[in-house]
Structure 1
Amino acid sequence: MPPLATPVRTPVRPGTPTPRRRVRSGRGAAGRSRAERLAPYVLVAPAALIIGVFRLYPLALGVNFSFTGDGDRNGQAVGLDNYAALFEDPLFLASMRNVGLLVLLLPVAVLIPGLLATFIYLRVPGHRVYRSVYFFPAVLSPVIIGAIFNLLLAFDGPANALLGTVGLGPVDWLGDPDIAMFAVVGVHIWATFGMALVVFLAGFATLDASLIDAARVDGASLPRVVRHVIVPGLSRTIQFVVVTTMIGMLTSMFGLLYVMTGGGPEGSTYLPEYYIWFQQGQMGRPALASAASTVLFGVMLVVGLGQIAVLRRAGRED
């Protein structure tokens, strides 16, 4: 039997440190895992603090203030008297009917930027120019937009002059109670659809282009591609645009209303936000305005959740 080989040892120079294995202590690993768990909360804390201080706390104060009185009853608890007064006020009821009109017109406000974003995504001729032109109204002030359309929609303005060239009579766009609200909403859609267009284009960036190419190879028409490929692929984007557009229509039309109609004619263009300003700034009834604000918040919450539920159900059915 051959003798066993003797292992060769490498001589160690004097002063050379001996390598040691790093042993992770349980305390260090536990500390790191705890830090990893707390990291998301630390990152979210500043935003949550800002929302709590500047959003939720004022909202709670406003709700509490809506149960107090105005005038001689200032600061006194009045229960639901302000809410009862709201639903007996014809102006507030007119503003709530206009909210229903906005809900009915919401699909138009979402469909227009959605179709334009689709055409840009499909690279129609001149799509780069269209991208800039479509977004341009979003950078204009509502006051400037209202002043421009006051001139365009005047009874003797260019819009009626154009109608006259095709044999149609003049339309009192801003003076007819049955038409004025549609005119203001149309201007608002024109002025704000650029932001929704940007959101849709961002959603298209996440869409799998191979699905559209496959549908085209199979001979699918553009309407079928939109319905069966693009809409399901952008379901989350559509939900976001629907909710934000509805919120914008309920809370961002004050400038146009103030400049174009002033709530008229006959209160036909009142919206809750304009009613709130009128009661607070013109009538000196802040408690009633707080009650109207609370009702508006409740309407926005119900409408937004309802829209999300409907869109999710439609997405599952597709």
Structure 2
Amino acid sequence: MKGSSPLVRPGVPGRAGGPDTTRQAGHRATGTGSRRAARSERLAPYVLVAPAVLIILGLRLYPLILGVNFSFTGDGDRNGMVVGLDNYLELADDPLFRTALGNVGLLVLLLPVAVAIPGLLATFIYLRVPGHRVFRSVYFFPAVLSPVIVGSIFNLMLAFDGPLNTVLGTIGIGPVDWLGDPGVTMFTVVGVHVWATFGMALVVFLAGFSTLDSSLLDAAQMDGASLARTIWHVVIPSLSRTIAFVLVTTMIGMLTSMFGLLYVMTSGGPEGSTYLPEYYIWIQQGQMNRPALASAASTVLFLIMLVVGLAQVGLLRRAGRQD
């Protein structure tokens, strides 16, 4: 008909309504949906970790920055005044703080023993040596006790006229002043702390044993290897990453969670021999009313913890490369 518009045949390529046009529109829609899905997938981890990051920034990082800043101010008559490094110089001259740092070095020396105890118990449980059922039944019991309860119990047991010295006297060993001898008391407190906390490390070791290749143990048994050789040549190399993790976390626990025992068992004595940085901080803040000096000591403790954390990363990476 004259004047009528030309008909557009469906299905002709390049024309409106043809399959190419429909296909292109579908590709565009699919491409847009894929980009949106990819963008959502990239953003999802950040959304999930955002609450934790905000909590850390608000409750950890910001107070840490304030504390470091406060450590450069004065106490008492110089409250609020900038004093530079005076607080840190005073810490360096304070024999109690030097003793606290020396005890940190002692903890480092005792760390292998603190890790070996739960490691050996976990090995006995895993290898089902005689008595492993007893270990499995009671190993976690001390971890549920409050440090105050633990300290009070051992104060009674380790008293000069307590049951432990009574038992030692029956076998001809003289009484030991466990809580009054400056050369013995720190070892006593560390031993009590290890007893009270080794359950957590033992759980980590048992989790590590779940990844151990049992065929290696079977081969060692067929070769007639002794228990000591099996532990040295099979267990320790196979659990290198677990051991590295427990080493560092145990050290961190010693530096940050012994306050309760120290407060109940020794109160820093005798003669300040059981001071640790966290106890020194509490004394300066809570009893001496010197918050700026306590902030300086806290900053030093943070630096120590930072070094321990970096050592943790190094140990774990080295263990990973060895595996």
Structure 1 residue 155 and structure 2 residue 184: aligned?
no
Are 2:241 and 2:319, in contact at CA under 8 Å, matched by a contact in 1?
no
The unaligned stretches of length 5 or more in structure 2 are 1-21
Label 1:31 to 1:311 Cα distance change in 2 as closer, same or farther (>3 A): closer
Distance 1:168 1:220 in 2: 38
> Where does residue 189 of structure 2 map in the other structure?
184
Partner SS for 1:176: coil
Specify which of 219, 224, 247 is matched with residue 214 of structure 1.
219
Label 1:311 to 1:28 Cα distance change in 2 as closer, same or farther (>3 A): closer
Structure 1 residue 233 and structure 2 residue 238: aligned?
yes
Q: Which aligned pairs between 1:72-87 and structure 2 lie closer than 5 A?
A: 72-87=77-92
Partner SS for 1:267: coil
TM-score by length of 1: 0.88
Label 1:146 to 1:39 Cα distance change in 2 as closer, same or farther (>3 A): same
Q: Following TM superposition, by how much is the alpha carbon of 1:222 offset from its aligned partner in structure 2, in angstroms?
A: 2.3
Q: Following TM superposition, by how much is the alpha carbon of 1:165 offset from its aligned partner in structure 2, in angstroms?
A: 0.8
Question: How many aligned positions are there?
Answer: 299
Label 1:317 to 1:42 Cα distance change in 2 as closer, same or farther (>3 A): closer
Deviations along 1:213-269, whole A, 9 cap, x unmatched? 223223333223222322222222112211111011011111111111110000000
Structure 1 residue 38 and structure 2 residue 43: aligned?
yes
Q: Following TM superposition, by how much is the alpha carbon of 1:134 offset from its aligned partner in structure 2, in angstroms?
A: 1.1
Specify which of 49, 60, 70 is matched with residue 54 of structure 2.
49
Specify which of 258, 265, 274 is matched with residue 269 of structure 1.
274
> Where does residue 74 of structure 2 map in the other structure?
69
Partner SS for 2:179: coil
Q: Following TM superposition, by how much is the alpha carbon of 1:282 offset from its aligned partner in structure 2, in angstroms?
A: 0.3
Distance 1:212 1:294 in 2: 47
> Where does residue 168 of structure 1 map in the other structure?
173
Q: Which aligned pairs between 1:60-139 and structure 2 lie closer than 5 A?
A: 60-139=65-144
The unaligned stretches of length 5 or more in structure 1 are 1-19
Partner SS for 1:146: helix
Distance 1:125 1:220 in 2: 17
Q: Following TM superposition, by how much is the alpha carbon of 1:128 offset from its aligned partner in structure 2, in angstroms?
A: 3.8
Q: Following TM superposition, by how much is the alpha carbon of 1:39 offset from its aligned partner in structure 2, in angstroms?
A: 1.6
Q: Following TM superposition, by how much is the alpha carbon of 1:123 offset from its aligned partner in structure 2, in angstroms?
A: 1.9
TM-score by length of 2: 0.87
Distance 2:30 2:312 in 1: 53
> Where does residue 301 of structure 2 map in the other structure?
296
Q: Following TM superposition, by how much is the alpha carbon of 1:315 offset from its aligned partner in structure 2, in angstroms?
A: 7.3
Partner SS for 2:175: coil
> Where does residue 278 of structure 1 map in the other structure?
283
Distance 1:169 1:307 in 2: 42
Are 1:232 and 1:315, in contact at CA under 8 Å, matched by a contact in 2?
no
Distance 2:239 2:268 in 1: 37
Structure 1 residue 194 and structure 2 residue 206: aligned?
no
> Where does residue 5 of structure 1 map in the other structure?
none
RMSD: 2.0
Distance 1:222 1:123 in 2: 12
Distance 2:172 2:223 in 1: 47
Are 2:244 and 2:315, in contact at CA under 8 Å, matched by a contact in 1?
no
